[in-house]
Amino acid sequence: MSDISKILGKRIRNYRTAMGLSQEKLAELSGCHHTYIGQIERGEKNATIESIQKIASALNISLSKLFEKLDAKKENVRDIPLECYELLSEKNAKEQEQIFRIILEIDRYKNL
């Protein structure tokens, strides 16, 4: 599957786990089959826009948020802010807060 399918699947998984939902519960809320949810999360299936909309709705996020900066990756060009966003989105809220505090400390230290 394409990188976009994999990135989108990873985002769906991140939002689902952040909400404390199992694949089965997300499937129930979205009206999709739980194996389909797993295939989407692993980037094995190209989901229809209707399925993605149902999943986004079940996760209480907008389609625009789910697709935000999805196509920002270009060959041989690193987008550090995007990489940071993707890294942080994989973490739970407590881990995000800890990482953010570390970044603030590093920024404060460099300005001394």
> How many alpha carbons fall within 13 Å on the CB side of residue 4?
10
What distance in Å separates the CA atoms of residue 47 and residue 53, rounded to the nearest whole number?
10
| 44 vs 61: CA distance, rounded Å | 22
Interval 71-79 mean pLDDT: 65
Each residue's pLDDT tens digit, 15-65: 998 888 999 999 999 999 999 999 999 999 989 999 999 999 999 999 988
| Mean predicted lDDT score pLDDT of the chain | 87
Which residues, at least 6 apart from 69, have a Cβ–Cβ distance to it below 8 Å? Answer: 82, 85
